[in-house]
Amino acid sequence: MPVIVLLFFALFMVSGCAAPPAMKTKEAVFFPSAPTPPRIQFLTGIGDSRDVEGSEAELSLFSVNAVQKEELKTFSKPYGITASGTKLYVSDTISGKVAVIDLRLKSFTWLKGDFGPGKLKKPINLTTGPEGNLYVADTGRKQVVAYDVEGNFQRAYGPGYDMKPVDVAADDRRVYALDMSRHKILVFNKQNGELVEGLGQDADNPLERLYLATNMELTRQGLLYVANAGSGSIIKLDRDGNTLGSFGKMGDGFGQFGRPRGVAGDSKKRFYVVDAAHQNVQLFNEEDRLLMFFGDPGLPVGSLNVPAGIAVTDEDLDFYQQFAAPGFDLEQVILVVNQVGRYKVNIYGLGKMQGIDYEAYYRESLERMRKADPEQLKKR
């Protein structure tokens, strides 16, 4: 009898320790919530390698280690994320690693070139260039470290410049390192690694000069969007460093920012800004007008938890569609890193529900708004 009790206790312990599988929520979580037509759905989350590789091991009663395909890989305090093809790259600051995740292949590995000259110390943000190479901003090494498509170390940008690169962007000719210590974007020649110039301090308006900038995105239109924590705004620069404008300010209102973090643009010229203070993501159109926000705290699933990096992609939508509610057609996939909590990567889908006439709904809403406030009629 004591043996049977012990067996049950052991069974309870094993199953209790197993993390829940990659989540497919029973009740779809939409933003905005009903009755407003849904535009964003929380699709699933990634907590550790089990959420990616599958859950064969989780319910094994007798021998967990024997059934697990590989060693369990977990995040300590992730920050940055980027998507390239079917691959996701997630930087983990505390452990000094970069996870390479392929959901389609159910693969979760650490970056291959992260050793020797390619060894990372404190990777913050990362991006991929047009050629598919990976660029990692490492404040521990004080460099941007480049790896090829296979993950092999290629070169480092910025040795000797004593910079604090918190984010990085790359085009076909140059590598842009967001240097928090200089409050500038240092531009390096991609081929020879030489410093070309420093951008971000030339604006006539002092509020549009970089100060405590934390994150940066090189958009498909070739503009640099920088999350400027010092002013609580997003500053837009061209690649020559000319300031093209800014939006947002410090505050907790709509379109304002507390601690702006990750920034990303999508193929439809929408722009996404993560806010670690508001713990949400705000969406803007190409005219910098707020469209909506999502991920606010308080939900059983789908809320963000001290979010940081963000990536938006419209590649591999077919794969992500399986996580969407029936009839909800995805247009973009939004990946947001949580620094703490069960899921370190929240995956959302931007889309539309079949059978809903969104344009008609928006027209009616606008009409209602106009009736409620005739002044709006004059403005719009």
Partner 1 sequence: MKPDFYFVRGLILGCFMVVACLPFSAVAMVESCSTADCHADLNDIEFSHMPVADGDCTACHEQVTEQHPAQTGSSFQLVEAGAKLCYQCHDKYGRKLTVHAPVAEGDCLSCHDPHGSNQGPKLLPTDHDLTALCSNCHDSAMFTEAFGHGPAVAGACTQCHNPHEANQLGLLAKAPQQLCTGCHADIAEGLANAPIIHTAVKDSSCTACHNPHSAPAAKLLSQEIEAVCMECHGDVGRKAKKAKVKHAALYRPEKCSTCHAAHFSQHAALLAQPEQDVCLSCHGQDDYSRSKPLKNIAKDIAGKSHLHGPLQDGQCSACHDPHGSDNTRMLTGPYPASFYHPYTTGCYDFCLQCHDKNLLRFEQTTIYTDFRNGKQNLHYLHVANKYKGRSCRACHEPHAANLEKLMSEEGADFGDWKIPTRFVKTATGGSCSPGCHQTFEYDRENPVDYQK
Query: Is residue 240 a contact point for partner 1 (CB under 8 A)?
Result: yes
CA distance 65 to 57: 8
CA distance 138 to 242: 26
Query: Is residue 27 a contact point for partner 1 (CB under 8 A)?
Result: no
CB of 204 to partner 1, least distance (A): 12
The pattern of x and - marking residues 196 through 225 that bind partner 1 according to CB under 8 A reads: --------------------------x---
CB of 271 to partner 1, least distance (A): 18
Query: Is residue 195 a contact point for partner 1 (CB under 8 A)?
Result: no
CB of 240 to partner 1, least distance (A): 5
Query: Is residue 242 a contact point for partner 1 (CB under 8 A)?
Result: yes
Give the single-character DSSP code of 38.
P
- Considering only CA atoms, which of 78, 116, 117 is closest in space to residue 100? 78
Query: Is residue 244 a contact point for partner 1 (CB under 8 A)?
Result: yes
Pick the piece of the chain touching partner 1 (CB under 8 A) from 55-63, 120-128, 141-149, 239-247.
Answer: 239-247
Pick the piece of the chain touching partner 1 (CB under 8 A) from 94-102, 233-241, 249-257, 332-340.
Answer: 233-241
Residue 347 main-chain phi, psi, to 5 deg: -115, 120
- Considering only CA atoms, which of 365, 367, 372, 379 is closest in space to residue 32? 365
Who contacts 185 (Cβ-Cβ below 8 Å, separation ≥6)? Answer: 176, 177, 178, 179, 198, 199, 200, 210, 216, 224, 226, 237, 241
- Kindly determine how many residues on this chain lie close enough to bind partner 1 according to the rule CB under 8 A: 6
CB of 288 to partner 1, least distance (A): 15
Query: Is residue 366 a contact point for partner 1 (CB under 8 A)?
Result: no
CA 75 to chain centre: 15
CB of 238 to partner 1, least distance (A): 6
Query: Is residue 238 a contact point for partner 1 (CB under 8 A)?
Result: yes
- Considering only CA atoms, which of 291, 296, 295 is closest in space to residue 362? 291
Residue 357 amino acid letter: D
Q: Are 332 and 266 in contact (CB under 8 A)?
A: yes
Query: Is residue 112 a contact point for partner 1 (CB under 8 A)?
Result: no
CA distance 84 to 133: 9
Pick the piece of the chain touching partner 1 (CB under 8 A) from 51-59, 237-245, 262-270, 272-280.
Answer: 237-245
Question: Which residues are at the interface with partner 1 (CB under 8 A)?
Answer: 222, 238-240, 242, 244
